[in-house]
Amino acid sequence: MSLTLEQLANLFGGELVGDPTLKITGAASLGEAAPGEISFFANRKYVGLLRKTRASAVFVSPDFAEPINAAQVRVSNPTKAFEQVVLKFAPKPIIFAPGIHPSAVVDASAQLADRVSIQPLAVIEPGAKIGNDTIIGAGSYVGHETVIGSACHIYPHVTIRERSRIGSRVIIHSGAVIGADGFGFEMVDGRQQKIQQLGIVQIDDDVEIGANTTVDRARFGRTWIQQGVKIDNLVQIAHNVVIGKNTVMAAQSGIAGSVQIGQRVLIGGQVGIIGHIEIGDNTAIGAQSGISKNISGGAWWASPAVPLAEAKQQIAWVRRLGKLFARMKEVEKKLGL
């Protein structure tokens, strides 16, 4: 498959700077693109790669002014235009035919809506309900009385335990465990005794959960992942946590029990959040931060986390300590101390 630059410009309503008959046969990043491929430029920090790219053409913004050898397609959103071209050149998506594979185990009381696909060795327990066009991947487990909405994609080897509630258009990647017991114990007569975890997990529409992430069921009530939340791989979400709409969490983060997280929060990789605190809407938390108190709004970083400007100032102070000690020694030497 190939497209001319003129076709690409017309497709996105862009302005072409270059040969309109030039054929484009693929798409790649600035650093990896070869002749005949198109790339994109949307961030000034990649200007070095732009100057060295071997791409035949580049999607750029309308006000682009950098002199380059590659042809230009000027569009309002270079990133989105590039994404659409990648989809055109990409292999066709894998299609899972509706139906139940002979090796799957589906209880007779489970309710499967239209065009559901149950892949090999999956297990669907009694009372489960699965909505239209949902795919249950090979080796996955759907527990008793669990409800899964329409157009979900549950990848292979996902465990969704009993009475979980999953909305529509939810994506859960391999190895994720939804609804494992929360980490609840109490010391009785000198021994740790398990506290029964009787609640559920509720995952709303348009949520995506990464590989090997765990979302624990509530002690009572619900652990609640609200609409549009995106969670990376290897994330731990403890019992009774609430994560607000359109929040994003990067890999290896951990949230302790009963934390309330607001909407549109950005959580970097390896962030740790202690239990029973609140994080307000529109808060950004830098990677490897430790959150030990209620915070709301703005950017926070370090452990324990402080506002970003304060964290940068503290780092600057620490890095100047060596020179400060050296000056103090010189002063003590002159004073005969």
**Residue 110: count of CB within 10 angstroms of its CB:** 21
**Residues 38, 58: contact at Cβ < 8 Å?**
yes
* Closest among 33, 41, 85 to 62, alpha carbons compared: 41
**Residues 118, 101: contact at Cβ < 8 Å?**
yes
Q: Is 163 left (phi over 0), alpha (psi -120 to 50) or beta?
A: left
* Closest among 29, 31, 51, 49 to 39, alpha carbons compared: 29
* Closest among 63, 66, 57 to 17, alpha carbons compared: 57
What six digits make up the tokens of 78? 């270079």
Q: Is 101 an active-site residue?
A: no
* Closest among 62, 56, 51, 70 to 12, alpha carbons compared: 62
Q: Long-range pairs for 182-189 at CB < 8 Å and ≥24 separation? A: 182/216, 182/217, 182/218, 182/219, 182/223, 182/238, 182/239, 182/240, 182/257, 183/216, 183/238, 183/239, 183/257, 184/219, 184/239, 184/257
Angle formed at CA 164 by CA 162 and CA 167, multiple of 5 degrees: 150
Q: Of 153, 157, 173, 239, which is the active-site residue?
A: 239
Catalytic residues: 239
